[in-house]
Structure 1
Amino acid sequence: MDDLDPPSLEELMRQTASGDQEAFASLYDQVAARVHGLVVRILRDQAQSEEVTQEVFLQVWRSAPSFDPARGSALSWLMTLAHRRAVDRVRSAQAQSVRDADYESLRDKPLQDPTSQEVEDRWQAQTVRSAVTELGPPHQEAVELAYFQGMTHREVSLALGVPLGTAKTRIRDGLRKLRETTGGAR
């Protein structure tokens, strides 16, 4: 190798790691077009690609000491940094888009009137209570104990003096009848 041959990328990385600004400038001159080309292919936006390319070279300047030639070439290390930084930018943009959409969907919802909500809740509760009374004694009792008094299936069976399986059947059948009479979904 004579004096006219440019130093290898690995040598430029070693010199950059020791703080040599001229080596960094030479490294930049040799690989900037490739790095930028990769970033543009990922981002497809020229302005963002320029920003990310600049971020990559800032990262190279700061983390050059962490480059280990035993683990791969300088070019592959640089391209990996560029790829990761570009993918991070895409993910960040997607996350921001989702956050914006979520915000817009929440903002566009009309505020719910608490009074009308309370009226609707009471109307629904009255409809359910009326439907429960129409179930008939064995199902009505089981459903009331389970859902209005919060008893477990075992407690319902003890309260009604019936086997556990019978209590479960009465509750299940009562709920099915309620669904049919109130027009609820299955």
Structure 2
Amino acid sequence: MVRQLRPAEPDHLDVPAAYAAHGPELYRFALRHLGDQGAAQDVVQEVFLRAWRSAGSFDPRLASLRTWLFAIARNLLVDEARRGAARPWQRQLTDGTRHDDHSPPEPDLDERLVDAWVVEEALRRIGAEHRAAIVETHLRGRPHADVAAELGVPVGTLRSRVFYGLKALRLAMEEMGVEP
């Protein structure tokens, strides 16, 4: 008698429902990035396989299911771009319709939106002082002196908040399963 071992399906993640809700959108995202229907299908399949395997780490209080799935897809697409750059000869084995140079494709609107969602979710997970320092200096591009004066803290304190805030942001993104 042969028994197949399968991981237990988590109670809080309904993969078929998640696929029905987000699969087509993930496919279009992957297809626009890769330009290859087969590769896009493979990416979507791998997204849901990884989601199923690590469903226990999904916490809907930290990120929405959509954001989590798109973060997984983004990581897979980055890996695919790196693999293509490391082995350019493999592009000759396919039809070569999308990648005819060695540079990675420019991020499109969808990828920038996913990146923004991921950063927004990660920013929610860090302290308010660190979040304010990062938002004002990095995202809004304001001078440290102006932000420090507005917050009523010395410039050195603001720089420390930015430094430690970025470390906390990186950790939050890693906890979300995103490679910063």
Q: Kindly name which structure, 1 or 2, has the bigger radius of gyration based on alpha carbons.
A: 1
In which range does the TM-score fall when normalised by the shorter chain? 0.3 to 0.5
Under a length normalisation based on structure 1, what TM-score does the superposition of the two structures give?
0.40
Under a length normalisation based on structure 2, what TM-score does the superposition of the two structures give?
0.42
More helix by share: 1
Larger relative CO (CA 8 A, sep 6+): 1 or 2? Answer: 2
